[in-house]
Chain A
């Protein structure tokens, strides 16, 4: 991270069916964030007000795919990002939300929205503004081509730092045993 004056690397990030924990881990690089900003500029991320991903060098995607909107956002990222990275357990495998995959879709909605005793009224939300859910939660690579996978729930800040600094330096990122975890 020593060279200056080079054009900045443009990075987009998003969280799909995730918890934002991977984004928190990215912020856990702490003051190294300011070093990163000397080399990187942000496109769409939860930190900026850019609503759609434009042409980027790197896309970091947290979370799996649980609804139609996730699919659209992921495809937009794939189309615009030269390098697409699945960040964290949910993006790599579907993660904890994928535990719903073994459940059959049943009439429990009735219980939650119609018969639950603490409810004031019974009604099932059905507005077209709400994106349709997918039957199963999917990892990213089942929907688009993914260039790198970083496991962990979440990957540590040091892991993300090593990955990004390798990438920015033009090296193939290598994490090694101590920076790879499957928690």
Chain B
């Protein structure tokens, strides 16, 4: 299936312009534009250009290594992979109900991760576009420029991120690639001294997080018409949801809504995700294109992440963030809630929720409990297959493993958040190309508009490059009549859901 502006009919006659690499995002990606002689845009593609290979090389490893191995997919959101893998392995060892201490420590770690990742994205990566303008001076359009022009904004961004990283350090052992979560639970609790250290600053952090929501709102107000229209497209949404309809970033059932807000499915058990989600392969990207099976590839694609979560949850369980959610949905008749730049505002609401969630948990004495791992006697039967799903900072994350009787991983399948947003990101950049670039002489500032659209999704292209060998070396043996008689494909691959 091909979308408008995805594939030009005669690419060989067109001029190629590449934004390579996309900067101020995590990971490796590029956008290519094909233009005709009148500078009309004929083709726009967001390519994911690197691969690494986790799903393959964890095969044969003992399962308990997996949470610390797979988090190395991504140094920005390692906790998401650490926890999604742990959740999948909980199932495999039959630990279906974690101890309160383990459940709450994992949630605390995850809130820390949401806080630091959202702060990094908003302040360090995206705020230069929003504060200075999309076409502003390229030399100043970065966090250094923000630190010079808006020192307090930069300082708060750095300290918000620091706080989230400290929550991770206290729960996982270190800030990047820690070891706190294990199959069946966690390996340490939070000591009173650690709790007190975090409590010391949490009210300041909540205050700053609230200020960040208001900054995101204010930027929207100041540029209302442009922000509402920028890269706008209609899309379905997908996220996990708590049983009572609350936003839950750590666990829940799947909820999907269509572009009019009507339910497609709700509270769906994610252990059968492949019955709902299918993936399309396109020749020009390492990243597959997921879609809802019931709707098909043409209309079944969707968006995930902050905008999907904030708009489709029934409420947020913490009061300040819920008030901001209501304000966001009501603002300008709900227009920002359907806009691409609305991602930033929604992301800051989630950051506030994470800060409030941390505060609540820090006051919970279960964090000092000693029951860290589900005891052998409390476990159910060992399973061959385990599936862990979590709402990572960028959206729904799926880890899926099969482990044999020797405790070795035999198959793995990972669908990362950014992959779910693949078609949505392509739609956004194509829309921006139509709105801003078509028929005009391209400048650096205009091209940055494309990157601004990509950045709204906070794509993690590190995560998106986990699969190995997606760029094949292919040799075809063709006979005299042009018929293929043999084909040799060299490559190494990730594993598939089929097996699992």
Residue B462 CB within 8 A of the other chain: yes
Expressed in whole angstroms, the Cα–Cα distance for A99 and B138 within the complex equals: 39
Expressed in whole angstroms, the Cα–Cα distance for A19 and B176 within the complex equals: 11
Expressed in whole angstroms, the Cα–Cα distance for A117 and B293 within the complex equals: 13
Q: Which residue of B lies closest to A122 (CB)?
A: B281
CB-CB under 8 A for A97 and B176, given A125-B471, A129-B32, A130-B471: no
Q: What is the CB-to-nearest-CB distance from A182 to chain B, in angstroms, rounded to a whole number?
A: 13
Q: What is the CB-to-nearest-CB distance from A14 to chain B, in angstroms, rounded to a whole number?
A: 9
Which residue of A23, A34, A69 is within 8 Å of B155 (Cβ)?
A34
Which residues of A sit under 8 angstroms from B141, Cβ to Cβ? Answer: 48-49
Q: Are A46 and B147 in contact (CB under 8 A)?
A: no
Which residues of B sit under 8 angstroms from A103, Cβ to Cβ? Answer: 53, 56-57, 492
CB-CB under 8 A for A132 and B471, given A24-B176, A47-B142, A127-B284: yes
1/0 per residue, CB under 8 A from B, across A110-124: the answer is 111101111111111
CB-CB under 8 A for A183 and B177, given A20-B462, A103-B56: yes
Residue count of chain B within 8 Å CB distance of chain A: 81
Q: Are A154 and B177 in contact (CB under 8 A)?
A: yes
Residue B21 CB within 8 A of the other chain: yes
Interface footprint category on A: 35 or more
Expressed in whole angstroms, the Cα–Cα distance for A121 and B86 within the complex equals: 31
Q: Are B281 and A19 in contact (CB under 8 A)?
A: no
Residue B96 CB within 8 A of the other chain: no
Q: Are B49 and A130 in contact (CB under 8 A)?
A: yes
Q: Which residue of B lies closest to A124 (CB)?
A: B472
Q: Are B274 and A118 in contact (CB under 8 A)?
A: yes
Residue B26 CB within 8 A of the other chain: yes
Residue A21 CB within 8 A of the other chain: yes
Q: Are A37 and B144 in contact (CB under 8 A)?
A: yes
CB-CB under 8 A for A106 and B491, given A47-B24, A49-B24: yes
Which residues of B sit under 8 angstroms from A1, Cβ to Cβ? Answer: none
CB-CB under 8 A for A130 and B143, given A28-B165, A108-B56: no
Q: Which of B481-499 contact A (CB under 8 A)?
A: 489-498
Q: What is the CB-to-nearest-CB distance from A92 to chain B, in angstroms, rounded to a whole number?
A: 15
Which residues of A sit under 8 angstroms from B47, Cβ to Cβ? Answer: 127, 129-130
Expressed in whole angstroms, the Cα–Cα distance for A44 and B26 within the complex equals: 14
Expressed in whole angstroms, the Cα–Cα distance for A131 and B20 within the complex equals: 12
Residue A144 CB within 8 A of the other chain: no
Which residues of A sit under 8 angstroms from B159, Cβ to Cβ? Answer: 30-31
Expressed in whole angstroms, the Cα–Cα distance for A66 and B470 within the complex equals: 13
Q: Are B489 and A112 in contact (CB under 8 A)?
A: no
Which residue of B51, B120, B291, B490 is within 8 Å of A66 (Cβ)?
B51
Which residue of B21, B74, B158 is within 8 Å of A19 (Cβ)?
B74
Expressed in whole angstroms, the Cα–Cα distance for A116 and B47 within the complex equals: 22
Which residue of B56, B69, B474 is within 8 Å of A100 (Cβ)?
B56
Which residues of B sit under 8 angstroms from A106, Cβ to Cβ? Answer: 490-493
Q: Are A108 and B497 in contact (CB under 8 A)?
A: no
Residue A126 CB within 8 A of the other chain: yes
Q: Which residue of B lies closest to A157 (CB)?
A: B175
Which residue of B45, B282, B474, B493 is within 8 Å of A108 (Cβ)?
B493
Residue A42 CB within 8 A of the other chain: yes
Which residue of B280, B285, B469 is within 8 Å of A109 (Cβ)?
B469
Q: Are B45 and A24 in contact (CB under 8 A)?
A: no
Q: Are B280 and A120 in contact (CB under 8 A)?
A: yes
Residue B9 CB within 8 A of the other chain: no
Q: Are A30 and B162 in contact (CB under 8 A)?
A: yes
Expressed in whole angstroms, the Cα–Cα distance for A20 and B358 within the complex equals: 25
Residue A58 CB within 8 A of the other chain: no
Q: Are B75 and A20 in contact (CB under 8 A)?
A: yes
Which residues of B sit under 8 angstroms from A80, Cβ to Cβ? Answer: none
Q: What is the CB-to-nearest-CB distance from A136 to chain B, in angstroms, rounded to a whole number?
A: 11
Expressed in whole angstroms, the Cα–Cα distance for A100 and B51 within the complex equals: 11
Residue B153 CB within 8 A of the other chain: no
Residue B73 CB within 8 A of the other chain: yes
Residue A33 CB within 8 A of the other chain: yes
Expressed in whole angstroms, the Cα–Cα distance for A1 and B344 within the complex equals: 36
Which residues of A sit under 8 angstroms from B75, Cβ to Cβ? Answer: 18-25, 154
Q: Are A113 and B281 in contact (CB under 8 A)?
A: yes
Expressed in whole angstroms, the Cα–Cα distance for A28 and B260 within the complex equals: 42
Q: What is the CB-to-nearest-CB distance from A38 to chain B, in angstroms, rounded to a whole number?
A: 10
Q: Which of A21, A67, A70 has the most CB of B within 10 A?
A: A21
Expressed in whole angstroms, the Cα–Cα distance for A64 and B86 within the complex equals: 27
Residue B286 CB within 8 A of the other chain: yes
Q: Are B155 and A27 in contact (CB under 8 A)?
A: no
Which residues of A sit under 8 angstroms from B489, Cβ to Cβ? Answer: 107, 109-110, 124
Which residue of A31, A105, A116, A153 is within 8 Å of B492 (Cβ)?
A105
1/0 per residue, CB under 8 A from A, across B444-486: the answer is 0000100100000000001000011111111000000000000
CB-CB under 8 A for A123 and B493, given A19-B462, A66-B52, A129-B49: no
Residue A86 CB within 8 A of the other chain: no
Expressed in whole angstroms, the Cα–Cα distance for A132 and B24 within the complex equals: 24
Which residue of B25, B72, B143, B469 is within 8 Å of A153 (Cβ)?
B72
Q: Are A120 and B297 in contact (CB under 8 A)?
A: yes
Expressed in whole angstroms, the Cα–Cα distance for A124 and B283 within the complex equals: 6
Expressed in whole angstroms, the Cα–Cα distance for A181 and B11 within the complex equals: 51
Residue B8 CB within 8 A of the other chain: no
Q: Are A96 and B497 in contact (CB under 8 A)?
A: no
Residue A51 CB within 8 A of the other chain: yes
Q: What is the CB-to-nearest-CB distance from A129 to chain B, in angstroms, rounded to a whole number?
A: 5
In order of increasing CB-CB distance, the 6 nearest A-B pairs are A21-B75, A108-B493, A116-B496, A127-B284, A117-B498, A109-B491
Question: With A18-B75, A124-B472 given, can you name 5 additional A-B contacts, CB distance below 8 Å?
Answer: A47-B24, A119-B279, A119-B496, A125-B282, A157-B175
Could you pull out 10 A-B pairs where Cβ atoms are within 8 angstroms? Answer: A20-B27, A24-B175, A27-B124, A106-B492, A117-B274, A120-B297, A125-B470, A127-B283, A154-B177, A156-B174
